[in-house]
Each structure stands twice: as structure tokens, then as C-alpha cells.
Amino acid sequence: MLSKFNQNLSRSIVTFCVSLACILVIGVLQVSQLNRLLIGAKTTSLPNLNREVDTERLRLNLLQKTPSFGFDNILGDWVMLGFLSYFGDDSAREQTGYSLSPEYFEIIVERDPRFLEMYLFLSTSISMYVGLPEQSVALMEKGLKSLSPKAPLKFYFIWRYKGTDELLFLGDAQAARKSFEKAAEWAIAYSDPESQNVAALSRQTAQFLARNPNSKFAQVGAWTMVLQNAVDDRTRRIAISRIEALGGKVVITPEGGVQVQLPEQD
């Protein structure tokens, strides 16, 4: 019995060491990539930037196939760090675009679908900057299959991101209405004021769309959510211009807050 215990212990230690070594290797690669991308694409030529993108694509393809030995959330965090460096390198992205965004999130959704904060970046980068809302919605649908409304985290926000992409970028008002209805259904399970407010807003948006699939009120509400959750200035500018084009009005308060007025007519 003692001999068997020692064998199991030894096997566990070896497995842990191998897992730790793999994680450290991935970490070193990630840090190296972060440093390389942050060093100044401003002085890098377009051919070199394209080679960097190709290299990063190969690395992401490798990470998709790399076993995580039970450390899926850690691997997901590292991939997210890589995305943030990639997304935040404005000078490089102006020249090469954001085509790798879906590949980052395919890994993260697969490894750590409970990573709530990443879904907002997923929606913005893939739908707005890459122009692939179908892929954004598909990834959110995949993640939602692993989630429930009773978890400590407020996953109902993902339904709202999904509904926003369906409404604003796919033009699918029926699918968007269903997503906002699910957001309200999941949010109502929480008793805190924020969740109750989200439930009411989501229900209202769904009602707007039920009455009028082309509802300006619903679209302005969706763009308002994009504006409030914007991860960069470019997204804020786009959201404000779309709200104003729909007849809404954006007011910046003296305290720096944002107030949005609906159009006079739906």
C-alpha cells in the first residue's frame, strides 16, 4: 500500500513539474511577444510588421494545440495579455489591421469560457474592427453553452454583447430581441440594483424590437452600451457618431459622465 502511494505521489510530482515547465515556457514566449510588440512598431516597416503578424499567427495556432495540463485559465490569461498588446499597438494595427483578433478569442473561449471580461473585447475587436460579427456571435454562443445564470459572475452581460452585435452589425433584429430577452431572464436572477437595472433595460430593448425591428430607440440603446463600455477612443468616436446619426444626442456632464438622449421618434 505504501509502495503504491509512493508511486502515485511520484507520478503526481512528475505531472506537476511537466505542467509547470510547459506553463513557464508558454509564459516566456508570451512575455517575449509582449516586449517585442511594445517596442515600437512606429519605426518598423510594413513588410516587417506583416512578418510579425505571420509569426504571431503561427504561435497562436501552436497554442490552440498545446495541452494545458489543467491550467486552462492560466493559458487563457496569457493569451488575453497577448491580445491586449496586439490590440493596443495602434500604429501597427493601422498598417496591418486586426485580423488576428478572432484567433486570440478562439483560444480563450475554448480554454476559459468563464472569463467574463474578455467578451467585451471579443465583441468590439471582431465585429467592429475586423468586420466579422458572425464570428463574434458564434464565439459568444459557444461560450454561453458552458455558462449559466446562477453563477457568481454576471454572465448576462454576454447576452447583451451578443444582442448588440446581432442588432448593430448583423441587422438581425429577431435574433437580437431573443438575446436581450435572455439577458433580462438571466439578470433578474440577481437581486442587486445593477442587475435589476440591466434586466429592465434589456426587457425594454426587446420590447422596442418586438414593436419595430428597425427601432432607432433600440439601436441608440445598443450604441450607448458600446459607448459606456468602450475600450478605446476610436470605439467611443464611432459610437457617438452612430448615436447622433440616428437622431440621438450625447451630452458630456461637467463631471465627465455621459448622458444619451433618445431620438424624438422611433
Instruction: Give 57's Cβ-side CA count (13 Å radius).
Output: 11
User: How confident is the model over 192-241, as pLDDT tens digits?
Assistant: 999 999 999 999 999 999 999 999 999 999 999 999 888 788 889 999 99
Q: Which of 21-25, 143-147, 213-217, 254-258 is the least confident region?
A: 21-25
User: How confident is the model over 148-168, as pLDDT tens digits?
Assistant: 988 888 999 999 999 999 999
Q: Are 109 and 151 in contact (CB under 8 A)?
A: no
Residue 39 scores a pLDDT above 90: no
How far is residue 98's CA from residue 139's CA, in Å, rounded to a whole number? 17
What's the mean pLDDT when you consider all of the chain? Answer: 84
Which residue type occupies 155? F
Position 132 scores a pLDDT of: 94
Q: Where do we find the cell 467611443?
A: 236
pLDDT mean over 127-131? 92
Percent of the chain scoring above 70 in pLDDT: 83
